[in-house]
Amino acid sequence: MKLLIILPAFNEGEKIGEVLKNLPNKIPGVSEIEKLVIDDGSSDNTAKIALSQKAKVLRHIINRGLGGGIGTGFEYARLTGADIVVTFDSDGQHRPQDIVSLIKPIIEKKVDVVIGSRFIKVSEVPFDRIVINFLSNVATFILFGIWTSDSQSGLRAFNKNAISKIEIKTQKMEVSSEIFKEIKRNDLKFTEIPIKAIYTEYSRKKGQKNSNAVPTFIKMFLRILR
Amino acid sequence: MLIQILLIIFLLFAVSRVLLQVKSGNITAGSFIFWSGLFFIAIVGVLSPELTSRVARLLGIGRGADVIIYVSIVLLFYLVFRLSIVIEDLRHEITKLVREIALSKEKETGKSK
């Protein structure tokens, strides 16, 4: 079992080194772990730091957004024959130890996709995030007919079947909801497991902005209409 | 009326631009038909305003000018919608290109190692 951890990164030089250093190098049931940083047109030293941490780096010559980065990661996973893909935020918001429980249902061949949900055990999540996330969940349900407790989670795992079937077309934050659309379209089995997010000043600044919620919804809507 | 002359001059200018664009191959035959048709209808409307009044009565709208405003607004909204989809598609194409470059660079460096 080869695991590919995809870390989309845009100007994350401040955090990416620490995040990569803390990622697990060995997980039971996994023979090989590859860390892939998608440097999404950063103007800082993100790529250099990632390389120094022995991560594979793919560089976008211009910034394409979160969806663009994850899409590139998936393409790389297909080319290199990865068995499991994990998407992991490079701003230090996720706990490395959550990867183990995240990929467990996939190793046990129970599901195709696992979503790490911050809202199964609601704790220490800022109130505005709870509200925005709930509205996003409702929008995801209305647009794609699939209910999730955390439609905006960045911590997810996919098995080989999901990797081969999921097509990512969106460029920015709407990718999070698009993944649910793809789960539904391809009839993939998915489950959610509780994770804990670490909210720091830095991760809140770098992560999804509340003001992005409406444009993200409009883009999702436009994508359906075409 | 002066306004009629000014509008006709402008609309003829617009038609000339459409012709120029289709000649240089910048717009498709479909776009040519749409835009030249639109400007042609506008020219007819400017030349014989009573025609728009007749259409207005037919639709149950007060004045011919109102018909033009209503139709224009609906058309503009639709065009903006189409444009935003075209822009989204373009973005998608750019992303594909950027992705391809990133992956081919990786292949090159992989080979040279």
How many folded domains does chain B comprise?
1
- The per-residue pLDDT for A5 is 98
Q: Indicate the residue of A72, A171, A226 with minimum beta-carbon distance to B85.
A: A226
Percentage of chain A beyond pLDDT 90 is: 65
Q: Does A225 touch chain B (CB under 8 A)?
A: yes
Q: Indicate the residue of A60, A72, A169 with minimum beta-carbon distance to B92.
A: A169
Q: What is the SS3 string spanning B46-65?
A: HHCHHHHHHHHHHHCCCCHH
Q: Does A215 touch chain B (CB under 8 A)?
A: no
**Chain A contacts of B90, Cβ < 8 Å?**
none
- The per-residue pLDDT for A210 is 65
User: What is the ipTM for the molecules in this complex?
Assistant: 0.82
Q: Is residue B63 part of a domain?
A: no
Q: Is residue B68 part of a domain?
A: no
What average pLDDT does range A194-203 have in this prediction?
A: 80
Percentage of chain B beyond pLDDT 70 is: 96
Provide the edge-to-edge strand list for the sheet that holds A2-9: A56-60, A32-40, A2-9, A84-87, A156-159, A113-117, A190-194
Q: Is residue B30 part of a domain?
A: yes
Q: Is residue B91 part of a domain?
A: no
Could you tell me the CATH superfamily of domain A2-225?
Spore Coat Polysaccharide Biosynthesis Protein SpsA; Chain A (3.90.550.10)
First to last CA, chain A: 38
Question: Which residue has 């594979």 as its token pair?
Answer: A56
Higher-confidence residue: A142 or A73?
A73
Percentage of chain A beyond pLDDT 70 is: 89
Q: What is the SS3 string spanning A6-68?
A: EEEECCCCCCHHHHHHHCCCCECCECEEEEEEEEECCCCCHHHHHHHCCCEEEEECCCCCHHH
Q: Is residue B28 part of a domain?
A: yes
Phi, psi values for residue B41, rounded to 5°: -60, -40
Give the range of the structural domain holding residue B41, as residue numbers without chain letter: 1-47
* Range in A11-15, A158-162, A185-189, B60-64 the model is least confident about: B60-64
Are B91 and A59 in contact (CB < 8 Å)?
A: no
